[in-house]
Structures are given as structure tokens and as C-alpha cells.
Chains A and B, each alone.
Chain A
């Protein structure tokens, strides 16, 4: 049935090179960049995307209507794509980060990283991992996440690492849409009904303590998220002002997922996500 599309692989959900996300890409680490630092940085951003994608995909078949179900899946797929590229980049830069698997296991590096690390080795922010709540919760989580990630990816387009720069350039387009989606829904729920406003404020209150972690300082390779704090604040304040919602007066949580200090939610998320892969460490999928 797809004759008219046959000549153009870009029509499909995944273009060429879907097997190996970095197929044909020169993954040489540029001079002056410490491979371990580059890998750590990519893991941090890759884990954010992976864990967010996992939470977003839990919405599949549960959204308020079919159109939004499809929208949420699109965003999950974007983030999953970013995660694959970033985890692969981390593994290529520093193979030492990839967990050891049985001799001869065909599991690729991106999957070894995703499925064979325990929670304390994940570097994602805790905002990404907390359990899903109602629709207001996903809107707020995605808003806080996308505002910070977009600011970061915009800067990373000029990264000395060409691979990371390319991933960021692609990601900027995707996250711009996510931020727009979340911002519009934030405004809609804020000004919709009494119930939607109450739920939105509750979600904002619950997730606000996790926001600071997105712009916490990071030393070593890469753009330091702390340098984006003002920019991120300006955008969030704009959304809050337009929506007529107060900035929550809640202090940031102590600790950070960047050091592997996670909430219990990550362990249960991983228990589900990793169960099949771990049962078949030499499996082919």
C-alpha cells in the first residue's frame, strides 16, 4: 500500500540509521576535551531524556482525548530519540561508562546503559522520575523541564563536540514544540475552570521543589546549567504572569539526581523498564 512513499524513507517514523543512532558519524573526541567528562555530560542529558520519555509513554492510551494521546506520544518519541543519541555518544566517548555484559552479548551500548545500570548510576534530575499524576502534573513537569532543556540545548549547538552540537540542534526544534505545548496547556488550565486551576496549582506546588536541580551548577565539560538560571527564570515568570499564577514559595529539595541520589520512584521505574532486558542479557531484539 505504500508505493507512493517507497522512494522516501523520511516518511517513516524513523529515518535511515535507526539501528545505530550514530551510524556514519565521526565520534572522535575533539582535542582538549576530556572523554570521561564528555561522557558524563551526555549521560546526564541522555538520562533526563530517557526517564522523561518513560514517564510520558506511560500516558499512552490514558490521555484526555485521542489527539492529546498522540501529542504526548510524539513528545515521548522525540525524547527517546535524544536519549538514544546521547547514550550512544557517551558510550563512544568513554566506553568505560558502559556496564559489562556476558561475553558475546549482542546488546548495543545504548541499551547496556539504559537497561543494565542501577538507579544510583543514573544521572537524571529527579523532576523526570517522580511518578505521574493527573494531566496538570504532566503539563507542569513538561513545562519546567522543557524551559530549562531548551535553554541548554540552544547553547550546546555551539559545543566543541560536533556530535553533541548536532544532537542539540535537532533537539532544539523538538523541545521548542514541547515547551509551546506545555505553555499553552499551562495557560489553558490556569484560566479554564476552577477545578483545572486548582489541579494546576497543586501540580506546580508539588513539582516546584525539583525545578532548581535543572539549573544546578555542573563543573567540567559542557555548558554549565547554572549559567542559564536567569534566562530560565524569565521564561517561567512570563508563563506564570500570563496565566495569572503565583510563583510557588517552596524551597528546593536538597541533594541531586546528578550525583545518583534519587527518589524511590526511579528504582521502581527502572524495575519495570529493565525487567525484560535483564532477563535476557544475551538476547537479541
Chain B
């Protein structure tokens, strides 16, 4: 079957028309190079975040204080491996292999979410990460179920379904601890104090300083601006904090009747920049852990390939 190659302008117009009617772009469709690059960068960064994100909580699986909590935490961290896998698969539909992406992560050429460069210092952090970090992630991710790239949207639907247990288990852990001893309540408040600001930073820099955002939104890769999502998160979280009986560590946090939203203080953007640059508390440790797992596993992956090749030859 032969078809006349379409003119670049016609292809571009067809692409723009698909985006305009909120239809999905699928892997073998023509797409502008910049769209493809932006997608790969965003999906890969998201995938890396899931994989690196296994570590801060994973560190507590061995020390979980009840068998029930151990099972919950292990299932949760395992889900994160799954989420990374789904997102790497979405990248692979654009012809970038998981091995290449792993290489880009391990050589520092692609980033992951800054939040995972903060340490986890107590078991309450498992709860706080579920409540605040996963809560912030859900704010970011739910709109992405409608993202313009089909495989990305489908991966996000699956992820969001699974993720709904993550936030709830975290909040439930904190609620249970708040009904426990004074020491446990203090542990919860201390943990919330440490994670509140980093959680706000998860939405990225303010819109004015977020150079790629506008184009990503025009293409329907991103559906809401950083500041919109941050506001939504704060408004969602304040009543949850009240129900829990913890204080959010921001003296400027108050309801603004006129805006119909909470006002809140400015996160320390210098700190975010430093963490992204690689100067966060745990950057080196996270990368070393990932690199070790990858390198220690090389002989296993090779052995399975060799075995499959021999079996295939027989």
C-alpha cells in the first residue's frame, strides 16, 4: 500500500487539531520533535522519581513496628516499582529504552523529584510521606490522566488507582499514632514540620519562573500550572491537618475570605534550587543505592539473556 508522504505543514496541522479537540496522540502518530522530547523528559523524570522514591520509605520496611504496617509499607513501596515500570513503558512507546533511561538517571543527565532527597528520620515519616508527599503527587497526577499523550494518560490512570491507597494508609498511620502515646504525637508533629515545605516545593517553581510550563500546557502534556496545583494542595490539606490535630509550620497560613483560598508563606526556593542541583541532604546516597542495585544485577540480567538465547537455539 503506498500513500503520498504528507507535507510537514499538514502533519503539524493534524497534530494541532488532535490536541485542540482534546483527543489523544498515540505512539505512531506524527508529532513535533519538541513535543516528543518534552514528553520523554517528563515521563522519564516521573519514572525515575517513582524508583528513587522507593528508598526513603523502603528504609523503614525492616523496622516497621507492627506486622500489619510492615505488609502495608512493603506493598506500597512495591507499587512504586510498578509505577516506575509503567512509566518507563510509556517512554518506550516513543522508542527510548528503559536501559537508556536508567543510564541517563545514573549519569545525572535526567532528574527525579527533589522530595526524595530528604531523609526519613522516624516511622512517622512513613505516614507523613503518604499523607503529604503522596497527597501532593496525587494533585499533580490526577490531571495527568487526561494528558494528551495516550500511553502516558493510561499509565497515569493505573497509577492513580493504585495510589489512592498510598495516601490513605499514610493518613491512617498518623491518625493512629495521634491516638497513641505523647511520644508518638510528638513524632508526628516533628515529621510534619520537616515535610511540609518540601511537599509544597514538589509542585515546582512559581509559574513566573517555570519556563517550560506554558508550552507543556498548550500541548496538553500538563493540565494545570504549578501555582494552581500548589494552592489546591494547601486548601485540601489544611482541614486534614485540623482533623489530625497537627499544626502546619507556616505562620502565614490563614483563610482568605476574599480569594476563597488559603494564603500561605513562600517556600525557600533557594533550597529547592540547591536540592535540584544535587546538594540536597541525600542526593549522593540515593544515586549510589540505585547504581549499586543496577550494577549488582548486571550479571543476573546477562545470565537470563544467555539462558534464553541457548534455549532459543535448541
Answer whether A and B touch in the complex at a CB cut-off of 8 Å: yes
Q: Which residue of A lies closest to B69 (CB)?
A: A285
B181 touches A283 (CB 8 A): yes
A64 touches B65 (CB 8 A): no
Residue A61 at the B interface, CB < 8 A? yes
A13 touches B75 (CB 8 A): yes
Asked whether A63 and B177 contact (CB < 8 A) given A12-B165, A80-B70, A276-B123, the answer is no
Contacts of B91 in A (CB 8 A): none
Contacts of A192 in B (CB 8 A): 302-307
B residues 261-297 in Cβ contact with A at 8 Å: 289, 292-293, 296-297
Give the contacting residue for A60; candidates B77, B84, B85; CB below 8 A. B77
B303 touches A196 (CB 8 A): yes
A284 touches B81 (CB 8 A): no
Q: Which residue of B lies closest to A11 (CB)?
A: B161
What would 7 A/B residue contacts be, using CB atoms closer than 8 Å? A64-B297, A66-B82, A69-B78, A188-B307, A283-B65, A284-B176, A285-B123
- Min CB distance A18 to B, Å, is 7
Residue B160 at the A interface, CB < 8 A? yes
Residue A167 at the B interface, CB < 8 A? no
Asked whether A60 and B142 contact (CB < 8 A) given A1-B160, A276-B123, the answer is no
Contact with A along B158-196 (1 / 0, CB 8 A): 001101110000000100110111011000000000000
A196 touches B299 (CB 8 A): yes
Interface residues of A (CB under 8 A from B): 1-2, 5, 12-14, 18-19, 50, 53-54, 57-58, 60-70, 73-74, 76-77, 80-81, 83-84, 87, 106-108, 110-111, 114-115, 134-135, 187-189, 191-193, 195-196, 199, 272-273, 275-277, 280, 282-285
Q: Which residue of A lies closest to B77 (CB)?
A: A60
Q: Which 5 A-B pairs have the closest CB atoms?
A: A64-B297, A192-B303, A196-B303, A284-B180, A73-B78
- Min CB distance B58 to A, Å, is 5
B70 touches A57 (CB 8 A): yes
A272 touches B62 (CB 8 A): yes
A77 to B179, CA, bound (A): 27
The majority secondary structure among interface residues of chain B is: helix
**Most chain-B Cβ atoms within 10 A of its Cβ — which of A61, A84, A135?**
A61
Contacts of B63 in A (CB 8 A): 272-273, 275-276
Give the contacting residue for B51; candidates A66, A80, A280; CB below 8 A. A66
Contacts of B173 in A (CB 8 A): 285
A285 touches B183 (CB 8 A): no
A-B interface pairs (CB < 8 A), number: 175
A1 touches B142 (CB 8 A): yes
Residue B66 at the A interface, CB < 8 A? yes
- Min CB distance B115 to A, Å, is 16
B69 touches A196 (CB 8 A): no
Contacts of B292 in A (CB 8 A): 62
A2 touches B82 (CB 8 A): no
A192 to B180, CA, bound (A): 53
- Min CB distance B100 to A, Å, is 15
Contacts of B123 in A (CB 8 A): 276, 285
Q: Which residue of A lies closest to B178 (CB)?
A: A284
Asked whether A73 and B181 contact (CB < 8 A) given A63-B293, A196-B303, the answer is no
- Min CB distance A68 to B, Å, is 8
